[in-house]
Structure 1
């Protein structure tokens, strides 16, 4: 038998795996709602922005990219707010309420009458994202035990990556066949299914009754927390600068038909993300710092490869796979880093990882839209993405250097033990 977090009953390995799969199913649903817009961007632009579409397809796609930014900003706002204010609540109850919110806001987005309303509901749908992953990551880490925390986090994130292999391409096909509104109704069904699974599988775990909002917010006093947020928010923007414009990269740059190549490109990215997430979880359990540095270098190299060979269909698909793999190595490593540097504010630290990554999502998507809107073409976001990744790498190097220097300083200034040993 294996013991879970304090206050939980002893659980068998089979029950633990069942609970982890239920949590990962939530990641699958969240990955579907977050990323399905990329494959359906031209369809949404044509449907919701007909006037702009008639003048310029590029301008309409750039405007439709604001959907990605709206959802990401919802994550940025909601993750610290919900996680900090709800740290006292039992974790299972909180996760179930978050899944109810996901379901209702996704249905509302599917029924949105115009583009501004769609943006509003996509923002609202993003609010519970970070809190769900943050609390689910804490539960998974407690179930896995010491020495396997990053693998527990990676398991929850596996649902997100599998969504890009199965969920996003399948729902993209639904959207292309029956309309983008039908696609979002399918996503709402996934959230309802996850609600049932979490209700049945997840053990009861208490919140922290002694935790206060002020105590959770104290995490922001630690400079290393800000460095970790910065490296994720800016460095991961490079991935989203490319991923937001996958569909037009395939159709306008490689000159491939939308079917079946856009879904295949999304599958390639999803497989890469799945592989990278597993590598990141195992690697971060050995060394968080080395994993982050190596991953950023890999993202830069794979983005450059994709940009150089985007006109060649096979190499474009390969490049998208490699970018997805390299980028996903970063996520469990930064999640673990945030939990390490936040000290007692674990709930908000676990959620802030997703605020940071979705700030990168918003940054990459919006800046990518700017360069596309300037007429620089659909490869321009890739070169922009390399610049963002370089900045993320610089932040990581500065953070780790300061930490090593302060550690050596503490070692040198530690008082000498002058006690005479007894014999």
Structure 2
């Protein structure tokens, strides 16, 4: 059975696909969106949003302790209930999914709750066997978590699983050193688990500025996370009481659960892309030009499925650029020169622009750095330090990068990214009146390069 023609069929209901579908439909195009799971994708359903809720939850353990320094006396020892947190999270995710669905409907998008694959350049096959004829196809299927290539890897949890565990793991091993690994290390440590984080390399957050890597490792260790860098996992063994991780050199760690957070792979398997003529790279990512068009003129792709930087706001921007290009007739690229990002580790990170190493490779630089204990931690007695760093071109004093680690870093970097993106110079920051007392004032008070 072949249904009536569409102008666009989107495969994947995550952030990039939803934005593209809505914008295309608002131009009067006939649009369908096929999603086999839940509308909202990884970020809303099983990623950024529930993760941030759990970050908030885990932070209360320190807040209860710090409150005593500010004169509060808690009547009894706080008790954490994992089940209540999971239930509250589910209610919020259900609410957000409903909003996504309602917005698609209001825009005129037909949502199809089925798996879809590419039959040919102008037809999409649904799981029930029906075919959708369409002028354009947009692949927005995102990425999936990867497992370590070791015996016993099937016993690992992935990030999709960890939000809804039936039992809270008292002993948790996390494999990896990227966003997901360090964020969940902080979450489960804050909620009361014994957390070890193992990584085969020497540093956390491989692509980040070296000072951020070192500072975060120090602060996570202070908070009780057992960091095991340069630790090569060899195999995982299931036991009667949990799991046993075996590392090179003979080290063994027994835990209740292991979370694999070693990376994500483009979700392209079984979509029929190669048969339709779409080119994939060695990692399985869809190859596109700068306007998100594949070598098949009618097939496009946006988001994590094309590789590169895996960030929800970037996927949204790409989805919008695709819609403007194809359905509004305005050829639109996505600018990445000053890409801000946050890691909701504990303490959290905000960063934008070039690292010190990247800047030095381009020319002479000046480095401005401040490391201090924020006022919030003084009465609470916590020895948590904040790091702020500016990377500045020596020749023209342009701020090339800003790197923050500490309370409120994500909020600060959003505003600072505007200045960096506009080409601000160090003197522009120096002219700004400091907001006192605040941590952010250090960004305009660093007067001498280190």
> Do the structures match in fold with TM over 0.5?
no
Pair member with larger Rg: 2
> Which is bigger in relative contact order (C-alpha 8 A, separation at least 6)?
1
Query: Where is the strand percentage greater, Structure 1 or Structure 2?
Result: 2
TM-score by length of 1: 0.29
TM-score by length of 2: 0.28
